[in-house]
Structure formats: structure tokens, C-alpha cells
């Protein structure tokens, strides 16, 4: 969802990887282009498995693809 705390750098990584298309990435990861588009646009948070597959497709660690904005300390506490 757009309100997700998860941000990603897929678009920049695709560009850096020889302007890889969403379809090419989707084929490597084993999902549809629509799903890659949704992940890139922050409309869908992938499972860990697909997240690792995406990082693997670019040959970078997971942390270079996805970032998580940790909530402020104590935000989970009542």
C-alpha cells in the first residue's frame, strides 16, 4: 500500500543493471510484470522469498533493495 513503511530502490537498480525492464526482472524472479510494477510503486510488499529473489537478480544484499522505516521508539507500546 502507499502507506507502507517499506521503500525500495528497484527502479534505480534496474537502471543500473543495463536498463533492465520490469518484464525482464519479473521473468528472473518468477512473478508477473504487474507484481514488479506494484512492488516498485509501493502498492505491494512482497514476501521475503520474492524480496530475496529480487536482490539476487541484481546481485546485491536485500538491504540495498528494500528499506524499512522503523517506527519511533515506543511507538508500539501503549
Partner 1 sequence: MSNKPVIADEPTPGLSFKEKSLWVTAASILAIYGYYFWRAVELGDGHPGELGVLFAGVVIVMIIVQAVVHAALAIHQRPERTDERDRQVAQKAARNAYYVLVSGVWGALGVAALSLGTFWCAHAALLAIVIAELVHCGSQLVYYRRGA
In whole angstroms, give the CA distance from residue 52 to residue 78: 33
Nearer to partner 1, 50 or 76 (CB): 50
* Minimum distance from residue 27 beta carbon to partner 1 (Å): 10
* Minimum distance from residue 76 beta carbon to partner 1 (Å): 23
Q: Which of 4, 16, 19, 11 is nearest to 69 (CA)?
A: 4
CA torsion angle for 17, 20, 22, 24 (degrees, to 10)?
A: -110
- Contacting positions for partner 1 (CB under 8 A): 1-2, 11-12, 14-15, 21-22, 30-35, 37-38, 41-44, 46-47, 49-50
Nearer to partner 1, 28 or 37 (CB): 37
* Minimum distance from residue 25 beta carbon to partner 1 (Å): 10
Amino acid at each position: 500500500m502507499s502507506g507502507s513503511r517499506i521503500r525500495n530502490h528497484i527502479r534505480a537498480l534496474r537502471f543500473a543493471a543495463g536498463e533492465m525492464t520490469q518484464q525482464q526482472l519479473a521473468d528472473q524472479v518468477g512473478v508477473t510484470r504487474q507484481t514488479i510494477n506494484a512492488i516498485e510503486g509501493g502498492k505491494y510488499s512482497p514476501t521475503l522469498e520474492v524480496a530475496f529473489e529480487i536482490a539476487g537478480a541484481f546481485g546485491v544484499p536485500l538491504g540495498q533493495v528494500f528499506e524499512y522505516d522503523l517506527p519511533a521508539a515506543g511507538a508500539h507500546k501503549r
